[in-house]
């Protein structure tokens, strides 16, 4: 580069290159000495501070543009100048040195570092103007206050009163100090009491937690007990209602249902009898005789009757009657046929059964004079008092119609016997009579 440019310093605020005016570069030693004089008369201490300020001088960087780049040239095209030593007055390095001294004096005598660019100088000027305005306002306030103090009349201070007040204040201070020590002691006592209360609080919280656990446990047990009580109460109500129903139930009627089916008398739906037009099977007749034997035995046990000659042994469709005198067994069941097969033991068993029924009738009528069975029993026959006709229970020398009617009258008498036995009895009295030993 052949073009020569002026040397620039760096702004101490924004670090931008600063182009100096030519008057700053042409300042002489005499002018520099005048500028170095203090503005205000300096004392000895001030002179020492001024002398010490030069020891802190740091020369700013100096730059010069060269035509050819050298080892000391940076990327901006400026070359750092080394210390030139003694240079002529018109040399560029001498001018830079004089300008550097000027900037150093300005930086030492003010709070602003120099040099600065124009924009930074404007900002500093505005700040100083604002600071100057504040100082002037504060100075005006001080002047007003001084004038006010001068206008007020002087006050003679009462030294004795002030001493007395001071002593009072000292006494109050001691009293307050004593109160402070007392309060600190009370505070320490309260802290100890607070710790005790905290411990008591923790203990009570633990006790409360234990109490709630026990409460929940007892509450659970109460709920379970209440549920059990309600369940038992419901079961008791149900059992009581069932008991009332059973008390009103005729056990003999429920166990031995005696009714009729046309010309036949029935017990538990088994027909007892046989007609030419209706040939009932013998297994049904034998089953009906077994139910009848069980019923007569149960009625006799209920009223405490012991038959004098016979013992009825209910054994289903093979029931029989035992003769007490010789121990013979009379079968209360048939094997088939009616007129063509003669079975005297079966006839003897039916006659013996009718005699037992006669003993039951006599026992009932002797105990209750107002009660009478509808059909009279005598010597193996059963008599209809309205018609005045007696019918035999034997098969031999008898008709099927008469035999069937005799058996129907016999069942009717048993039904009346059930009504008399169950008239004033309870379930507890009837229960033993229901379960019978089939062997007698």
Lowest mean pLDDT, pick from 167-176, 324-333, 337-346: 337-346
Confidence at residue 92, expressed as pLDDT on a 0 to 100 scale: 58
- For the chain, give the mean pLDDT: 77
Listing DSSP states for 73-123 in one string gives: B-TTSEEEPPP--S--TTSHHHHHHHHHHHHHHHHHHSSS-S---HHHHHH
Domains of the chain (ranges, CATH numbers): 8-116 (no CATH), 252-434 (1.10.418.40)
CA neighbor of 321 nearest in space, from 343, 354, 298 = 354
Please report which confidence band the pLDDT of residue 56 belongs to, taking 50, 70 and 90 as the band edges: very low
Confidence at residue 38, expressed as pLDDT on a 0 to 100 scale: 61
Please report which confidence band the pLDDT of residue 429 belongs to, taking 50, 70 and 90 as the band edges: very low
Lowest mean pLDDT, pick from 136-145, 159-168, 286-295, 363-372: 363-372
Q: What value does the mean pLDDT take over residues 249-259? A: 80
pLDDT at 108 over 60: yes
Please report which confidence band the pLDDT of residue 220 belongs to, taking 50, 70 and 90 as the band edges: very high
Q: Cβ(382)–Cβ(409) under 8 Å?
A: yes
Q: b or e along 167-181 (b: 16 or more beta carbons within 10 Å of the residue's beta carbon)?
A: eeeeeeeeeeeeeee
Distance between first and last Cα of the chain: 155
Q: State how far the Cα of 253 lies from the Cα of 156, in Å rounded to an integer.
A: 137
Q: State how far the Cα of 410 lies from the Cα of 153, in Å rounded to an integer.
A: 154
Considering the chain, what percentage of its residues have pLDDT values greater than 70?
74
Lowest mean pLDDT, pick from 89-98, 204-213, 300-309: 89-98
Q: What value does the mean pLDDT take over residues 130-138? A: 91
Residue with more model confidence, 331 or 45: 331
What does DSSP assign to residue 20?
P
Handedness of CA 234, 236, 241, 246 (dihedral sign): positive
H or E segment to which residue 266 belongs? strand 264-267
pLDDT at 105 over 80: no
Lowest mean pLDDT, pick from 192-201, 333-342, 344-353: 333-342
pLDDT at 135 over 80: yes
Cα-to-chain-centroid distance, residue 9:
83
Confidence at residue 226, expressed as pLDDT on a 0 to 100 scale: 93
Contacts of 380 (CB under 8 A, 6+ apart): 350, 351, 354, 355, 392, 393, 394
Confidence at residue 100, expressed as pLDDT on a 0 to 100 scale: 78
**Residue 7 burial (CB count, 10 A):** 19
Please report which confidence band the pLDDT of residue 418 belongs to, taking 50, 70 and 90 as the band edges: confident
Confidence at residue 74, expressed as pLDDT on a 0 to 100 scale: 42
Q: State how far the Cα of 105 lies from the Cα of 51, in Å rounded to an integer.
A: 11
CA neighbor of 416 nearest in space, from 360, 366, 378 = 360
Please report which confidence band the pLDDT of residue 438 belongs to, taking 50, 70 and 90 as the band edges: very low
Q: State how far the Cα of 8 lies from the Cα of 18, in Å rounded to an integer.
A: 5
Confidence at residue 434, expressed as pLDDT on a 0 to 100 scale: 32
Considering the chain, what percentage of its residues have pLDDT values greater than 90?
23
Q: What value does the mean pLDDT take over residues 139-145? A: 90
Q: What value does the mean pLDDT take over residues 193-198? A: 93
Confidence at residue 386, expressed as pLDDT on a 0 to 100 scale: 79
What does DSSP assign to residue 56?
T
Q: Cβ(409)–Cβ(384) under 8 Å?
A: yes
Confidence at residue 78, expressed as pLDDT on a 0 to 100 scale: 41
Q: What value does the mean pLDDT take over residues 31-39? A: 65
Please report which confidence band the pLDDT of residue 8 belongs to, taking 50, 70 and 90 as the band edges: low
Q: State how far the Cα of 380 lies from the Cα of 296, in Å rounded to an integer.
A: 16
pLDDT at 58 over 60: no
Q: State how far the Cα of 273 lies from the Cα of 264, in Å rounded to an integer.
A: 6
Residue with more model confidence, 324 or 87: 324
pLDDT at 155 over 70: no
Confidence at residue 377, expressed as pLDDT on a 0 to 100 scale: 84
Three-state secondary structure call for residue 50: helix
Please report which confidence band the pLDDT of residue 20 belongs to, taking 50, 70 and 90 as the band edges: confident
């Amino acid at each position: 580069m052949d073009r020569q440019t002026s040397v620039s310093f760096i702004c101490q605020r924004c670090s931008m290159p600063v182009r100096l005016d030519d008057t700053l570069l042409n300042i002489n030693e005499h002018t520099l000495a005048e500028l170095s004089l203090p503005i205000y008369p300096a004392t000895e201490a001030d002179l020492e501070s001024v002398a010490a300020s030069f020891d802190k001088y740091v020369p700013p960087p100096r730059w010069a543009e060269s035509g050819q780049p050298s080892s000391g040239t940076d990327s901006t095209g400026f070359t750092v100048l080394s210390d030139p030593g003694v240079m002529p007055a018109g040399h560029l390095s001498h001018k830079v040195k004089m300008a550097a001294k000027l900037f150093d004096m300005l930086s030492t005598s003010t709070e602003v570092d120099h040099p600065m660019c124009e924009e930074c100088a404007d900002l500093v000027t505005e700040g100083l103007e604002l600071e100057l305005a504040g100082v002037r306002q504060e100075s005006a306030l001080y002047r007003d206050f001084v004038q006010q103090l001068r206008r007020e009349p002087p006050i003679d201070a009462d030294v004795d009163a002030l001493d007395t007040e001071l002593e009072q204040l000292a006494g109050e201070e001691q009293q307050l100090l004593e109160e402070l020590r007392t309060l600190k002691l009370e505070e320490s006592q309260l802290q100890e009491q607070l710790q005790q209360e905290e411990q008591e609080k923790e203990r009570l919280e633990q006790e409360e937690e234990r109490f709630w656990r026990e409460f929940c446990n007892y509450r659970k047990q109460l709920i379970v007990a209440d549920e059990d009580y309600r369940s038992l109460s419901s079961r008791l109500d149900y059992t009581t209602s069932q008991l009332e129903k059973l008390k009103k139930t005729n056990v003999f009627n429920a166990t031995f249902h005696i009714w009729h089916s046309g010309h036949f008398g029935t017990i538990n739906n088994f027909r007892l009898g046989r007609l030419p037009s209706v040939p009932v099977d013998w297994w049904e007749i034998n089953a009906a005789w077994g139910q009848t034997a069980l019923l007569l035995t149960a009625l006799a046990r209920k009223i405490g009757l012991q038959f004098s000659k016979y013992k009825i042994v209910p054994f289903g469709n093979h029931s029989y009657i035992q003769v007490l005198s010789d121990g013979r067994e009379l079968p209360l069941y048939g094997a088939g046929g009616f007129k063509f097969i003669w079975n005297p033991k079966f006839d003897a068993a039916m006659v013996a059964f009718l005699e037992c029924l006669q003993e039951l009738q006599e026992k009932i009528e002797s105990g209750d004079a107002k009660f009478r069975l509808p059909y009279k029993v005598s010597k193996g026959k059963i008599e209809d008092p309205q018609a005045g006709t007696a019918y035999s229970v034997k098969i031999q020398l008898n008709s099927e119609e008469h035999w069937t009617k005799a058996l129907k009258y016999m069942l009717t008498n048993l039904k009346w016997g059930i009504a008399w036995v169950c008239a004033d009895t309870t379930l507890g009295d009837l229960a033993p009579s229901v379960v019978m030993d089939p062997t007698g």
